[in-house]
Chains A and B, each alone.
Chain A
């Protein structure tokens, strides 16, 4: 039972354009959402997070939007750069039985071409 879904396995974007990566979740106990970036054969690195009390968090070129009613979040990268090419994982965590746990989606492979 997948609680976190990243329905696009891959995304290809031209350098300088916007990249939008989407994530849907089913568990209403999730109240904190993290995005990780991963290069092949390396561990994921933390990118940006958002709490459920917010609907937007921005950090440089990266912005995460949260729509709690739709149980949907998205990561926007503007402008996209070739170095952004990696797999991006959405990883929510939350209260109650999910406390302390992160649940990872399957990831979206982003390719930024010149």
Chain B
């Protein structure tokens, strides 16, 4: 069963702690993305990766870091430098980074920083 998995579904952390969100895909897609959604907002791009060992900043990369050591995995670390980390985080993948390739999304992780 192909798809994108994100874990955990809900995550709670204390302020000042770094936290890593998991994203795994078995679709054999080259491109992967991280978005953030806040209430009443669209999805905003944090980072994306076109290929293993390569990634680019999106619109709101400050306070976040990523790695792409394997094709299947694109973990996102929310650092203590991120001023408003509480949000719904969505991972997506596509065959490649082109305008015509549909992005497929995981179920999301709700992060709450206390």
Task: Point out residues on A near B: beta carbons under 8 Å.
Answer: 4, 9, 30-32, 34, 36, 41-46, 49, 51, 89, 91, 93-95, 98-102, 104-107
3 pairs of A and B residues whose beta carbons are closest in the complex = A100-B97, A43-B105, A93-B99
Option from A4, A30, A32, A42 in Cβ contact (under 8 Å) with B42: A4
Q: How many A-B residue pairs have CB under 8 A?
A: 65
Is B45 among interface residues, defined by CB-CB distance under 8 A? yes
> Is there contact, CB below 8 Å, between B43 and A99?
no
Take A100-B31, A100-B50, A104-B42 as given contacts and tell me if A43 and B90 are in contact as well, using a CB distance cutoff of 8 Å: yes
- Report how far A32 CA is from B94 CA in the complex, Å: 15
Residue of B nearest to A93 (CB): B99
Q: Which residues of A contact B104 (CB under 8 A)?
A: 46
Q: A1 to chain B: closest CB distance in Å?
A: 11
> Is there contact, CB below 8 Å, between A44 and B98?
no
Q: List 23 A-B contacts (CB under 8 A).
A: A31-B99, A32-B100, A34-B102, A41-B110, A42-B107, A42-B108, A43-B90, A43-B92, A43-B105, A43-B106, A43-B107, A46-B104, A49-B102, A91-B43, A95-B99, A99-B99, A100-B50, A100-B96, A100-B101, A101-B45, A105-B42, A106-B42, A107-B42
Q: Which residues of B contact A34 (CB under 8 A)?
A: 102-103
Residue of A nearest to B41 (CB): A106
> Is there contact, CB below 8 Å, between B102 and A89?
no
Take A89-B43, A100-B50, A106-B42 as given contacts and tell me if A45 and B105 are in contact as well, using a CB distance cutoff of 8 Å: yes
Residue of B nearest to A94 (CB): B99
> Is there contact, CB below 8 Å, between B105 and A44?
yes
Option from A41, A100, A104, A106 in Cβ contact (under 8 Å) with B99: A100
Q: B58 to chain A: closest CB distance in Å?
A: 8
Q: Which residues of A contact B98 (CB under 8 A)?
A: 99-100
Q: Which residues of B contact A91 (CB under 8 A)?
A: 43
Q: Which residues of A contact B107 (CB under 8 A)?
A: 42-43
> Is there contact, CB below 8 Å, between B90 and A106?
no
